[in-house]
Amino acid sequence: MDLKHYTHADARDVRSLLLDIHDEAYADTSDQFHSRERFSCYVDLWSSREDWRCISGWEEGGPVGYTYGSMFKPGGWWKGHRRPSDLKGSVFALSELMVVPKWRGTGRAAIIHDALLKEVEAAMVSLLVETARPRVQALYERWNYVKVGETEPNEDTPTYSVMVRKL
């Protein structure tokens, strides 16, 4: 699999790719939370950060998936959840990891994920997983993430498991 690396400077050029993969990944849902319009706001928010990093995977002439995130500011944490007091040090917020359906269950998500974390200089990485997706949470647990709590960042968002992995 070929990996492409992007930074904040590439955000405008890669935006359509991220949205198109999102659309393919959520093609089977009518939930407005997962709409392209709503997701585009998150893409724009995260990619506007100067330390934003993104990696996409490519195989057989097309995209496999991507992951992206950025550092939390010192002391920063996920909205709606208090940072556990025993977690010390810098935190990389893994905002998205998305794989097109054709490539799910093939191990490519782990390759993309690990490639991004190799570029990260932080004490830990943290992410959110919808509690309604226990198989996804179990996948992250196999990758050495630990659930440290739950959050519902906004009134209209799902409940998420807050997960952490020390680097």
Determine the Cα–Cα distance for residues 22 and 12; give it in Å rounded to an integer.
16
pLDDT of residue 167: 95
Q: Binning pLDDT at 50, 70 and 90, where does residue 154 land?
A: confident
Domain ranges of the chain: 2-166
Give, in words, the CATH class of 2-166.
alpha beta
In percent, how much of the chain has pLDDT > 90? 90
pLDDT of residue 22: 96
Write down the mean pLDDT value for the chain. 95
pLDDT of residue 53: 98
Q: Evaluate if residue 20 carries a pLDDT over 90.
A: yes
pLDDT of residue 24: 94
Determine the Cα–Cα distance for residues 30 and 33; give it in Å rounded to an integer.
9
Percentages helix, strand, coil for the chain, rounded to the nearest 5?
A: 35, 30, 35
Element (H, E) at 2: strand 2-7
Question: What's the mean pLDDT in 158-164?
Answer: 96
On whether the pTM is more than 0.85, the answer is yes
**Residue 87's CB: how many other CB atoms inside 10 A?**
14
pLDDT of residue 32: 79
